[in-house]
Structure 1
Amino acid sequence: MEKNIKVILIENDLDFVFLLQQLLHKDSTFSCLGYATNKTDGIRLACEVQPDIVLMDLNLSSNELAGIETSMEIRRQTNAKVIILTSFEDYDTVIHACIHSFASGYLFKTQFDTILPYIKQTAAGHTPHEYLIRSLILSQLTSAERTILERILGNPIDIYSSNKTIANQKTNIFRKLGLKSQKEVIHILGDYL
């Protein structure tokens, strides 16, 4: 028997929310725990119900990519995986959003028939999109910074640098990834990498 996958929707198009809810209710693998139409309510809902998966629209408001900020905050505060679900069909925009929100993947809204299998695949482990996003995140770091990141994540790696150099590299990692602390790095990237 498959594990029940807890899903929330963060989407401001109520017609699309209705369609997604109907789709999720057709398969007993999923529990749709609710939806939100904006950043504040989305973060609150995710923190309250602790979903496995968040289906996130990028365009939640007049701020064209409010979904990035919402996704990132949800990743900071929960263990949920985020799937970007968008009508933007510009690959560069979507990949940028995935990298900066640490999403596990993305689907275009026109790929409606693939939503359920994609959620299952994402909940079960790492998707090809997740590997792509991970490599693009890591490409922002120098080789030395990647080594420090591995060490932060608990891999026993010998580092032959001074404490000052290591501290500077950690600061660079936090800045480049938009994270605030070593604890945040471990929380967000621990399973991701």
Structure 2
Amino acid sequence: MPAKKKAKSSPKPSSTKRAKLRVLLADDEILFRDVIKDRLTMERDIEIVGEADDGAAAIKLARQLKPDVILMDINMTGGMGGVEATREIRKSLPKVKVLMLSSFTDEVHVMEAVQAGALGYISKRLPTHELVRALKTFAEAGTMLPQPVMHRAVNRLNAASRLGETGLGELTQTQMRVLALLGEGKSNKEIAEELGCNVKTVKNHLNILFQKFDVKNRTEAVVRGIKAGLIAGR
């Protein structure tokens, strides 16, 4: 009898189908949220699992849905902001990655986001196709910070840790900013314009700085800040 031909088995379909990136959107601007959502839904490997219009809603949805990434607006009016929400989410959900969205790209805002637990920080002004690319890169790499700002932020974080070692106590983010502006030779009025506050508030910050540094004037404060490594010498 002729030998039976062995049936050729067809190759098995791959069982390693890549899971979609599950994203939670948190932004109080409905129009911006809709634009981003429409663009992200065009991506086969991304799934929008929920939307929040303030920090409290973002926390609630994050705990319910456990997304891979949260696109979080840093400033959300009318409720809890992105920084506070990020801090709470990272406490209870350390595996959830937060990519902070902001119109601000200065080191003060970056530091606030990083200290709260955000692993990435990008501008809301990016074209949508670049934002999508940044989101995917962030999901794979785990971090994304503007390079020039990142270096300045890291330097300031290191300086803040050195502050305790020098016995000068702790400074708030605003006080660090005031000290940096002092080092640039800014007047009280110019500092107020930079911070978006009035001159009286600036004077209050200066008085606190003088007390913490045990100095009597602006020049002594700058010198003390340079010696502590908090600001660069001019």
Letter in 1 for 2:33: V
Structure 2: distance between partners of 1:10 and 1:39: 7
The change in CA–CA distance for 1:70 and 1:16 in structure 2 (over 3 A counts) is same
Structure 2: distance between partners of 1:114 and 1:17: 16
The change in CA–CA distance for 1:49 and 1:137 in structure 2 (over 3 A counts) is farther
Task: Tell whether 2:118 aligns with 1:98.
Answer: no
Alignment TM-score, normalising by the size of structure 2: 0.54
Letter in 1 for 2:62: A
Could you say which structure has the greater relative contact order, defined with CA pairs below 8 angstroms and 6 or more residues apart?
A: 1
- Runs (4 or more) in structure 1 with deviation over 6 Å come to none
Which of 32, 36, 44 in structure 1 is aligned with 2:48? 32
Task: Tell whether 2:161 aligns with 1:141.
Answer: yes
Which of 40, 48, 57 in structure 1 is aligned with 2:73? 57
Structure 2: distance between partners of 1:46 and 1:121: 21
Aligned-residue Cα RMSD (Å) equals 3.2
Work out the number of aligned pairs and report it: 147
* 1:22-56 C-alpha deviation (Å, 9 max, x unpaired): 01101011010010111221100001110111001
| DSSP 3-state at the match of 1:45 | helix
**1:172 match:** none
Structure 2: distance between partners of 1:9 and 1:126: 18
| DSSP 3-state at the match of 2:125 | helix
Structure 2: distance between partners of 1:46 and 1:123: 16
**2:26 match:** 10
**2:37 match:** 21
Letter in 1 for 2:114: I
Structure 1: distance between partners of 2:144 and 2:31: 30
Letter in 2 for 1:86: S
Which of 67, 76, 79 in structure 1 is aligned with 2:82? 67
Structure 2: distance between partners of 1:99 and 1:137: 12
| DSSP 3-state at the match of 1:17 | helix
CA contact (8 A) 1:81 1:103 kept: yes
CA contact (8 A) 1:99 1:136 kept: no
**1:108 match:** 123
Post-superposition shift, 1:16? 0.8
Structure with bigger gyration radius: 2
Post-superposition shift, 1:136? 5.5
Structure 2: distance between partners of 1:57 and 1:5: 19
CA contact (8 A) 2:122 2:144 kept: no
Structure 2: distance between partners of 1:61 and 1:69: 13
Task: Tell whether 2:136 aligns with 1:120.
Answer: yes
Structure 2: distance between partners of 1:45 and 1:126: 21
